[in-house]
Copies of this chain bind each other. A is one copy, B any other.
């Protein structure tokens, strides 16, 4: 019943401190690249779904129309979606559903965030407001704190080590150094990563993703339209959507994100594949512990064995399952509304064999993105395939 939907174009702005650019200009940089990639013009697109996580970052209420207009889609229908740091993949699922339902045939998805216009402390405060405004934010906890609790629990329950956390950082910085779009393009040593200054114990600076400016865009098409427009459609094969309790103190465990587990199971079932079939994955490494927990929630490792997976370098290219070989949120950057769309753009290029040679997963045919909002309340797991 559901129609097949493909990604037929992808673009990504440079991530970083883009101090001279506004939200709309960042969006344009990504959209322009996606139009060129698909050999389409704005007039070809029927409607758009826009991901912006924070109105305060954007300094623009109801930002979808401003962005849609500026990227050439004036007079076309548009809407914003928002699920904190998972907004980008929510935009993809939302546009997918309209095409899958037979409602529209050709849509653009844009994710964007401009975060460096405010101070780092203000950015941290604005993000902390996504914690519960009654029971969390007023008590002073912010997102490094939430994930520090998870890291502490994972270390206590499974013996995950300080070194293993830092190994995630070393890997993601290594791949970031190979990605010209990445915010940070420098390698770090394990010793540097271990000895960095503390943010929220046990998480230090190199355990935390970046506050970045950036945008990404993808173009989605129905099967009929996709086949007319491209020889290399990348199909959306499964979409998992998970939630969790708002308060993390109401959860049974802090060593997994149960919404991510449910989303993964839903996506694998819909795509009719298993974790072993995934050739390349983009996971939500907002903090290093989040990548280790993602390995487990996604079935790349057994519960508690995520630390070992990175220690054995199984998530490098050549290992069991290459993860975040674009640098991830840690080194590519994390402009929150853009992140989930950027993951999709990366998987699209990986499955087409079009990324920089040293970080291309040769012959990848199935890819996965895992995008998480708040402390696990919003999770999308989306599986893409060449066929």
Interface residues of A (CB under 8 A from B): 1-3, 22, 47, 53-56, 58-62, 64-66, 68-70, 73-84, 90, 94, 96-98, 100-103, 126-127, 129-134, 239, 241-247, 250, 258-259, 263, 373-374, 377-379
Contact = CB atoms under 8 A, between A and B. Distances in A.
A90 B258 CA distance: 28
Contacts of A3: 1, 101
> Can you tell how many copies of this chain the complex includes?
2
Given A69-B246, A259-B75, A126 B80 contact: no
A241 B378 contact: no
Nearest to A82: B80
A98 B93 CA distance: 9
A79 B184 CA distance: 31
A65 to B, nearest CB: 4
22 contacts: A1-B1, A55-B56, A56-B56, A58-B133, A61-B129, A62-B83, A62-B374, A64-B377, A68-B246, A69-B245, A69-B377, A73-B243, A74-B243, A75-B244, A77-B263, A77-B378, A79-B90, A81-B81, A94-B94, A97-B97, A97-B101, A101-B101
A242 to B, nearest CB: 6
A118 B69 CA distance: 31
A60 B103 contact: no
Contacts of A68: 243, 246, 377
Contacts of A53: 62
Nearest to A22: B134
A205 B58 CA distance: 31
Contact of A246 (B66, B101, B239, B374): B66
Given A69-B247, A75-B244, A94-B97, 16 more contacts: A1-B3, A59-B129, A60-B132, A61-B130, A62-B373, A62-B378, A65-B374, A65-B378, A69-B245, A75-B258, A77-B259, A78-B378, A79-B81, A96-B101, A97-B101, A100-B102
Contacts of A245: 69, 74-75
Contact of A47 (B69, B96, B241): B241
Contacts of A130: 60-62
A56 B60 CA distance: 12
A129 B62 CA distance: 8
B103 A239 contact: yes
A60 B246 contact: no
A334 to B, nearest CB: 15
A231 to B, nearest CB: 25
B59 A133 contact: yes
Contact of A79 (B54, B69, B83): B83
